[in-house]
Amino acid sequence: MLNEQEVTFYKENGYYLYKKPLFSADKMKELTGIFEEHLAQKGSKLSDELDTPHFDDERLLKFLMSDEVLDLVEPIIGPNIGLWSSHFISKEPLQGRATPWHEDSAYWKGRISSYDKIVTVWLALDRSWEENGCMRVIPGTHNGGFSEYEEVDASTNLFATRVKGLDDDERAVYFELEPGECSLHDSRIIHGAKANTSPYRRCGYTMRYFSTEARIIPEKNATHKVWLARGKDIAGNPFVNV
């Protein structure tokens, strides 16, 4: 688990870099193999569009519901944990699209009752470095509320909108990670990534969790599935495994 000092850093800055192997070498090999299967079967989808793969591949629940991950999450959002989503994000060499500045919470607006206890664990499957478009955040922006957004070119960006008026920012912290290491970030923090112009692929697996004190709004999540990962359901959520 994260210690008190590490949790304090996360709460003040909106992120924390966990520069240790999250899983054993064997589990990382297994997870990477599952990703490679999904990548081979993606069809017309772009490599950065492999969203909620665990909906159809229950093998991923072994990782998403694991103690290794939940022990990192619990000190941040508490003992009652719901699995919100997961996402393979692969930026291919020389062509991986940029991820414009955004807050995850802005894309989930109206779908959940509160956003202050949602955390994303971003696990590096490849080496994730500034040169191949690693994630970057603007520290402290998780306390700023929802930003205004403007349109961007969707052909070169993962999203069609970005935080209005925000370009490169000298405050940005780059999340440089080796394979098997991970970062944690608040759903409200402003973050993004530059395009991958390097010859090296950059793939990560995002695992997102929320405190079950928050309520999932059923009518806004008709096709979305959530799991109770640890503890108790406080708000009466439509978990598939309860």
| E strand segments, 62-198 | 81-91, 99-102, 118-124, 135-137, 149-151, 161-163, 173-174, 182-186, 191-193
Residue 190 pLDDT level (bands cut at 50, 70, 90): very high
Closest CA to 16 of 26, 25, 29, 3: 3
Which H or E run contains 84? strand 81-91
Q: What is the pLDDT of residues 199-226, one digit of tens each?
A: 999 999 999 999 999 999 999 999 999 9
The answer to whether residues 59 and 96 touch, using CB atoms and an 8 Å cutoff, is no
Residue with tokens 């919470």: 105
CATH of domain 4-230: 2.60.120.620
Average pLDDT over residues 171-196: 95
The answer to whether residues 193 and 99 touch, using CB atoms and an 8 Å cutoff, is yes
Q: Which residues of 16-25 are buried (b: 16+ CB within 10 A; e: fewer)?
A: bbbeeebbee
Residue 55 dihedral angles phi and psi, to the nearest 5° = -60, -35
| E strand segments, 112-201 | 118-124, 135-137, 149-151, 161-163, 173-174, 182-186, 191-193
- For strands 182-186 and 118-124, give the pairing: antiparallel
Give the rounded percent of residues in the chain with a pLDDT score beyond 90: 78
- For strands 135-137 and 191-193, give the pairing: antiparallel
Look up residue 53 and give its DSSP letter: G
Average pLDDT over residues 78-96: 93
Residue 64 dihedral angles phi and psi, to the nearest 5° = -65, -30
CA atoms lying within 13 Å on the CB side of residue 138: 19
What is the Cα–Cα distance from 63 to 180, expressed in whole angstroms? 13
Q: What is the pLDDT of residues 20-45, one digit of tens each?
A: 999 999 999 999 999 999 999 987 67
How much is the pLDDT for 56? 94
The answer on pLDDT for 47 being more than 70 is no
**pTM for this entry:** 0.93
The answer on pLDDT for 137 being more than 70 is yes
The answer to whether residues 135 and 181 touch, using CB atoms and an 8 Å cutoff, is no
How much is the pLDDT for 85? 97
The answer to whether residues 135 and 193 touch, using CB atoms and an 8 Å cutoff, is yes
What is the Cα–Cα distance from 70 to 53, expressed in whole angstroms? 19
